[in-house]
Amino acid sequence: MSEKSSSVNLKYIDVFSGCGGLALGLHNAGWQGIFAVEKSPDAFSTLKYNLIDRNNNFQWPEWLPKSNHDINAIIANYSKELESLKGQVSLIAGGPPCQGFSMAGRRREDDDRNKLIDSYVEFIKLVEPEILFFENVKGFTIGFKKDNKRGEAYSVYVVKKLEELGYDVKGQIIDFSEYGVPQKRQRYILVGTKKGKADFFFETIVKNRAMFFKSKKLNDKTSLSDAISDILQSNGSVISPDTKNFKAGIYSEVKSNYQKLMRKGVKSSDAVVDSHRFANHKEDIVERFNYVIKHGKPNKSFSDELKKIYGLKKHTVVPLCEKSCTPTLTTHPDDYIHYSEPRILTVREYARIQSFPDSYEFKGKYTTGGLRRRVDVPRYTQIGNAIPPLFGEQAGLVLKEMI
């Protein structure tokens, strides 16, 4: 940390923190967390294990139990404690869940999760941080249709509310693949500041990119094979250490600087890769996947005609491309097929594509189904909803300059 940054307040609160992707990035950039707000016990257990129990990234206040919390419950029960933090918090990071706005899912204006925008604004009003950093899906900038007319986008609404609180606010769509993440993932990033101009963030993060890549020894674009070719199933497998009747993958030699970065902090004696459990596909599924790999176009969903010929019923079946970044990862791993092996991606491969290091361990179920989908946040979902730590780190470095 530079002399300049060490003398300023680099404390933040992470709201809607998920499994800790943004928090990890901010930690790597030199920020100190105060606490994190996350409703899901599954996602919070991952954050707690990695960023609280193993690494004291959060100076958790005594008045708040160290567990998962709903933001509305915190506002209702601890408003005085939040107000007492005024002047002590430089940054509030994180944005409300995106599912209600997502173009990839069931986009619904009446989704209860959309109301969390108002909870977020209320939280900001109580704490009054110097800077805000907010992330959401691209669909957040598109209004819902009513009577064939496009309504006001939620991005316009939240900007208006934050400006009323005295923030200079700027929002922009950013593609994380331009920041070293091996995934074409476009997200709406909003920055608000009480001092100076919010534009500084977007100008500076682009300007700093080349130097950041140089410091990490990364290329400006990371392909899927750059990310995961050292953990192929063909390397060999062992009995899964955390699930009966499954096999888990092992490491081979490092094949790229990105892999070297992801494996930093993993003991050289560790042969088994964390959360790298292979799906138990039936023979007919393996046969279908081989067909998709052979006949499909990389990173393109199968045509309806080919789906009909081969009895593929899923709406999205995408064979991935080895030499380019992936499309945006969803929370459904069976949307994608590995570029060279007839199987879906593992949790660890998902994590690599989202730039989580291998030392970051994921907790909870691998998958879930049926009615449990409304309650559980399994490992694939935790990762699919996360902000890539590699982008979070670059954002954190710029946010430090804004203090």
Kindly state whether residues 376 and 391 are assigned to the same domain: no
Q: What is the mean pLDDT of each run of 10 residues along the chain (403 residues)?
A: 57 97 97 97 97 93 97 97 96 77 45 72 96 87 54 80 95 96 94 92 97 95 97 95 95 96 88 95 90 86 69 73 94 91 97 98 89 83 96 98 93
Kindly state whether residues 31 and 125 are assigned to the same domain: yes
Kindly state whether residues 38 and 169 are assigned to the same domain: yes
Kindly state whether residues 203 and 333 are assigned to the same domain: no
**Contacts with 208 (C-beta within 8 Å, 6 or more apart), sequence order:** 394, 397, 398
What is the Cα–Cα distance from 125 to 139, expressed in whole angstroms? Answer: 25
Going along 69-221, which residue ranges are E strands? 91-93, 131-137, 145-146, 149-150, 168-175, 186-193
Task: Give the pLDDT score at 100.
Answer: 47
Residue from 327, 392, 350, 302 nearest 103 by CA: 327
What is the Cα–Cα distance from 261 to 72, expressed in whole angstroms? Answer: 38
User: What is the span of the domain harbouring residue 306?
Assistant: 224-384
What is the Cα–Cα distance from 341 to 344, expressed in whole angstroms? Answer: 8
Kindly state whether residues 156 and 213 are assigned to the same domain: yes
Kindly state whether residues 306 and 392 are assigned to the same domain: no
**Contacts with 235 (C-beta within 8 Å, 6 or more apart), sequence order:** 249, 250, 251, 252
Kindly state whether residues 168 and 19 are assigned to the same domain: yes
Structure-token pair, residue 52: 């609280």
Ramachandran category for residue 389: left, alpha or beta (phi over 0 → left; psi -120 to 50 → alpha): alpha
**Contacts with 271 (C-beta within 8 Å, 6 or more apart), sequence order:** 238, 250, 251
Kindly state whether residues 196 and 231 are assigned to the same domain: no
Question: What CATH number is given to the structural domain containing 258?
Answer: 3.90.120
Report, in angstroms and rounded to the nearest whole number, the Rg of the chain calculated over CA atoms.
Answer: 21
Kindly state whether residues 68 and 209 are assigned to the same domain: yes
Kindly state whether residues 189 and 248 are assigned to the same domain: no
Which residues partner with 250 through β-bridges? Answer: 272
Kindly state whether residues 160 and 57 are assigned to the same domain: yes
Answer for the pair 135, 22: CB distance below 8 angstroms, yes or no: yes
Task: Give the pLDDT score at 177.
Answer: 97
Question: What CATH number is given to the structural domain containing 208?
Answer: 3.40.50.150
Helix (H) or strand (E) holding 32, with range, is strand 32-37
Structure-token pair, residue 194: 């009480």
Domain count, the chain: 2
DSSP 8-state class, residue 49:
I
Going along 21-77, which residue ranges are E strands? 32-37
Kindly state whether residues 161 and 16 are assigned to the same domain: yes
